[in-house]
Structure 1
């Protein structure tokens, strides 16, 4: 599966953009955050890393990402890999605010899950805290992820925590 092929694939869920508001019913929800430093310079560094796929590329444990855009932008496609697992995604929105930056991508046909995941960093000017955030909704899209149930959710949580530490 190459990146050009991904451009032709449809998203696998209807609730596009829902990680920006209330998470939709009928999905497993995931919300994690962690402080990652202090100060505007730290925020800018982390924001740049997130938008350049740094949460993914820095996660370790064999996570790889190939994207058709160096910086996450709407409609950019990516193939996230974990060992033999292939997870095609498309960026559905980007956050570019003074104190909050990041992006959300949605699953494409061929992804083992169906849903959306938001990767962002925030700067709190009141105390200069910088924090990383992940927000997602998903459900199994293949027979083997349905059978795997809790193991898949645990794997998602473990990798999400690694994403937070990566920036």
Structure 2
């Protein structure tokens, strides 16, 4: 079980500098909506439609180590990650990844779609701490602000995905 799953109920900084966040939102309803949303999520569209590029456009799979690329003006930031879990069964679809050395932050992020009757919900969970690299650690407070904005984008694009 990943740290994100263990600590999903906590919201504030924990000892060691870990910050835990989660949010669940209603996206829409119906079988077609579920199918489209699950396919989009499992192909990484929550990231790509939020402005990121991913080194592979394949369906997410456990053990994969894609590079997430963040365009910043003429430059780009590479975020190495490893997909640690993928679920696609019944009324659940989603994935979780952990950051690898060199990522601007240290932690995990999970995106889980849940179907309850006709209703479709998206839950995003994250566990974040400062990077192991001093260059990123020195701007951690800026990264936390960017993270809040990106989470808002994740929720927005998944709502718009099948509207």
Q: Distance in 1 between the 2:30 and 2:111 partners?
A: 19
Confirm or deny: 8 A CA contact 1:95 1:101 kept in the other structure.
yes
Count of aligned pairs between the two proteins: 147
2:4 aligned with 1:34 = no
The match for 2:110 is 118
Cα RMSD (Å) of the superposition?
1.8
In structure 2, do the counterparts of structure 1 residues 111 and 149 end up closer, same or farther at CA, with 3 Å as the change threshold? closer
25-34 or 39-48: bigger deviation: 25-34
Superimposed CA distance per residue, residues 115-147 of structure 1 (whole angstroms, 9 cap, x where no aligned partner)? 11101211111xx22122210101111223322
Compare relative contact order (CA 8 Å, sep 6+) and give the higher one, 1 or 2: 1
CA distance in 2, matches of 1:164, 1:90: 22
Where 2:96 maps in the other structure, the secondary structure is: strand
Mark the runs of 5 or more structure 1 residues left unpaired by the alignment. Answer: 1-15
Partner of 1:57 in structure 2? 48
CA distance in 2, matches of 1:156, 1:32: 14
Give the Å deviation of 1:33. 2.6
How many angstroms apart in 1 are the aligned matches of 2:153 and 2:6?
24
Partner of 2:135: 144
The one of 70, 83, 86 equivalent to 1:82 is 70
Query: For residues 104 and 131 of structure 1, what CA distance do their matches in structure 2 show?
Result: 16
Alpha-carbon distance between aligned partners in 2 of 1:144 and 1:160, rounded to the nearest angstrom: 23
How many Å separate the matches in 2 of 1:33 and 1:166? Answer: 14
Kept in 2, the 8 Å contact 1:87–1:111? The answer is yes
The 8 Å contact of residues 113 and 140 in structure 1, kept in 2 or not, is answered as: yes
What is the rounded CA distance, in whole Å, between the counterparts of 1:117 and 1:105 in structure 2?
A: 6
Q: Secondary structure at the match of 1:77?
A: coil
- Residue 18 of structure 1 corresponds to 3
Cα distance in structure 2, aligned partners of 1:108 and 1:149: 16
TM-score if structure 2 supplies the norm length?
Answer: 0.81
